[in-house]
Structure formats: C-alpha cells, structure tokens
Amino acid sequence: MTIAPERPTARPAAEQAPPAGPERRRATGGARATDVYAVLGAAAAALALTWLLFARLLPFSGTVGFVLVAYALFLGLYALLVSFDEDGPAVRDRVAGVVVRTLGLVLLAVLVFVVAFTLWEGRRALVHLNFFTEDMSLAGPLEPLDTGGVLHAVVGTLEQVGIALVLTVPAGVVCAVFLNEVPGAFARLVRTIVEAMTALPSIVAGLFVYATVILALGMERSGLAAALALSVMMLPIIIRASDVVIRLVPGTLREASYAMGASRWRTVWHVVLPTARSGLTTAVILGTARGVGETSPVLLTAGFTAELNALPTSGAQVSLPLATFELVKSPEPNMIARGFGTAAVLMLLVLLLFVLARIAGGRGPGQLTRRQERRRTAASRADAARFAPAPARTAPPAPPRSTP
C-alpha cells in the first residue's frame, strides 16, 4: 500500500529509456541469463560447501550422503540467490520448478537405466547367433555361450500367448460389445464383476489353473495350462480396455445408423466395430504386452524344460520370462548372461508390440488411412454407377463426389 504512490514517479524515467523506433517482439519464454547464473552459482556453492563439510568439518562420509547434502544445500542456496532480486511467489516458483524437474529426470533416468542395464548385461549372449536358433538341451551350466539358446522359450511364448489370444480376444470383444450395446442390469453386473477381476493377482490366476486343470483334472503341466492361466489374467484387462474404446465411439454415428433403419447388429458390425478398430487393436496389443511379460501364472502351470517343445498340449513348455527367471538362479556367469539375454529378447518383443500398438492406435475413431480412403472412394463410385439410371450406364463413370 505504501509503495503504490511512489510507482508513478519512477515509471516515466524507465519508459523514456528505450529509443523510439519500430517495436520489436520480445521473447517471453526461455531462461534469462540471471536464471542460468543463479543455477550455476548455487550448484558451485553447494558442491564447495558440501566438500568443506565432508572433508574438513564434520565426520560425515559416503557418496550417498554427499549427494543428498549437496542437493539440499543447492536448493537452499538457489532460493537465497533468487530471493535477492525476486519476491516470495517467484522464489517458490523457481524452487518448485527445480524440484519437479529433478524428480522427473530421476524417474526417467532410473527407468531408462533399468532397460539399458538388462541390454548391457545381456550383450555377451546376444552377439551369438546360436542364441536365437538353438535350445538349451545341449548346453550345460558350464558350456560357453556359443552353444545353446532360447529358441524353445521364444516358441513357448509365441504359442502360449497365441492360444491365450485366440481364447480371450473373441470373448473379450463380444463381452465389451455386450456391455455397450445391450445395456441393462445384467450388463452392469457383468461390468462390476469384470472390474473386480482386474484386481486378481496374477499368481492367484496361476494358482487357480494349477488347482483345477492340473490337480483336479489331472492334466500335466503344459503350454496349454499356461495359456489358460494367461487367459484368466488377460481377459479382464482386454475387456476393460475394449469397453473404454467402444464407449468412445461417437453416439451420433450410432444414431445416424439407426435413423437410416439399420438393425442393431448391422450398426455394430458396420459402424461401431470399424470405427473402434484401431482402438481395439491397441487394447489387444497392450493386453498382449502385459501377458507376454507375466511370469507368475506360467511359473505354476508350464513346468520347466531345456528342450524345444512345440506341442503345447503335452509336456513342459518354457516361456521367455520363465526362462529368464530360471536361468539367473544359476550361479554360473554364463547362465546369468543367458538370463539377461533372454530378458533382452523379451523386452525387444514387448517393444515391438508397443510400436505396433502406436502404429495401429495413432488415429482416433473414424479417421482413415490413405488406403482406406481410396477404397471408400472407389466403393462409392461403384455404388453411384450402380444407382445411376440405365441409359447413363454407357456414359463415363459418375463424378467422384456424387456420394460420400
């Protein structure tokens, strides 16, 4: 309040300073030089002060303590430096900005490190071509890395996830369509139960299949049992994801279809499902990525073998995550390297699925690719030619924009 009257006297002096001329657009974003100096100065001061504390003044030691103390000092000093020429809210803004950036970068760095660590540790196994073309039946724990590979685990993963997809995708999509297109009390009940089942821990899904299929029905541990366990786990995930996607289909499209006299199933088949296709693909692929990496249901149901077993219905069949898990139990460095290599292959598979999901899910409902657009145009031209009166048939084809 007391400052306000003084401002008008100060302002004209400042406003006269810039020379007359065309106004130049100022960049308001970006860091100013003072910001950079404040950060650098605070960092230098914090490092020096921490070194002084640790090496000369106090009985502290250790890298971790050094980093923590240095970071705390940096925050304090930075706040102090900024407070010399800014007010309270601006100081809080700067400090919060530093903290948020640090947290974000720490998380991203750790996550990238987890992946890079696995690839780096697996590099010794991954450079051998036989790692991708042989199984482990001839490779003992002491065998060098140029014998043996994970072909059996790759085959097992593909078969188990394939069977699980064959079971879950039709069931999941039909159920999601049911939830959205046949609403009612029953659909609400199903939706609640499905939501509840997404909470089922994956190991309990494995335990269920182990207790029913293997113990009660007397089937041996096999790829099929593992696929069933994966299905129990993946089904609720796929249903929920597809449900969300189908709910996003614009209601106006459905209403337009009904208004033109289409029946329910024609609307679903020709309007709802094609519109939601890319989203459904993404949902299925992301569900697959979840299923591919699950170890615990497979651990209980698939058994373990070092040999290639392409038959899912009989005999133990190993998958990539399970092979990783079993290989790193060994104390031999070669086996551990193989384990990391297997994990790297698994991650590459997940990455591949993820990229596929990005490609498939890049567009929203109703947006077409170039090829789809060309196909639609051709179909509508053919329709126009068909609808045209008989003498017009001999005439050149109808103009391209006759029907949408």
Residue type, 335: M
49, 79, 187, 356: which one contacts another protein (CB under 8 A)? 187
Among 36, 44, 100, 310, binds another protein (CB under 8 A): 100
**Interatomic CA distance for residues 101 and 325, integer angstroms:** 35
E-assigned strands of 105-166? none
Angle at CA 358, nearest 5°, toward 200 and 368?
Answer: 120
When binding is defined by CB under 8 A, the residue of 36, 244, 352, 382 that contacts another protein is 244
* C-alpha gyration radius of the chain: 32
Helix (H) or strand (E) holding 51: helix 33-52
- Cα–Cα dist 150/153, whole Å: 5
Residue 190 touches another protein, criterion: CB under 8 A: yes
Of 36-44, 102-110, 141-149, 370-378, which part binds another protein (CB under 8 A)? 102-110
Residue whose CB is less far from another protein, 44 or 111: 111
Minimum distance, C-beta of residue 208 to another protein, in the bound complex (Å): 5
Q: Which residues contact 150 (CB under 8 A, 6 or more apart)?
A: 131, 132, 135, 136, 320, 323, 338, 341, 342, 345
* 166 scored as a contact of another protein (CB under 8 A): no
Q: Is 78 in the site for another protein (CB under 8 A)?
A: no
The stretch among 94-102, 130-138, 249-257, 272-280 that binds another protein (CB under 8 A) is: 94-102
Q: Which two tokens stand for residue 389?
A: 């009166």
Q: Under rule CB under 8 A, which residues in 123-162 are in contact with another protein?
A: none
* Residue 401 beta carbon to another protein: minimum distance, rounded to whole angstroms: 33
**196 is a site residue for another protein (CB under 8 A):** yes
Question: Binding another protein by CB under 8 A: which of 10, 44, 48, 107?
Answer: 107
Stretch that binds another protein, among 77-85, 100-108, 143-151, 371-379 (CB under 8 A): 100-108
Contact residue for another protein among 39, 49, 158, 204 (CB under 8 A): 204
Q: Is the Cβ–Cβ distance between 304 and 211 less than 8 Å?
A: no
Closest distance of CB 346 from another protein, Å: 6
Q: 305: Cβ–Cβ under 8 A, 6 or more apart, which residues?
A: 152, 315, 316, 317, 318
Q: Determine which residue in the list 10, 55, 72, 117 makes contact with another protein, applying CB under 8 A.
A: 117
Q: Per CB under 8 A, which region of 40-48, 130-138, 194-202, 377-385 contacts another protein? A: 194-202
Question: With binding defined as CB under 8 A, does residue 69 bind another protein?
Answer: no
At 188, the amino acid letter reads: R
The CA–CA distances, whole Å, from 348 to 14, 66, 316 equal 61, 37, 24
Which of positions 262-321 make contact with another protein (CB under 8 A)? 263-266, 268, 286, 289-290, 292-296, 299-300, 321
Residue for token digits 């009166």?
A: 389
Q: Which of the residues 31 through 50 are near another protein (CB under 8 A)?
A: none
Q: Does 205 bind another protein (CB under 8 A)?
A: yes
Query: Judged by CB under 8 A, which stretch of 7-15, 140-148, 306-314, 324-332 contacts another protein?
Result: 324-332
Q: What is the dihedral of CA 313, 316, 322, 325, to 10 degrees?
A: 170
228, two tokens: 């069933």
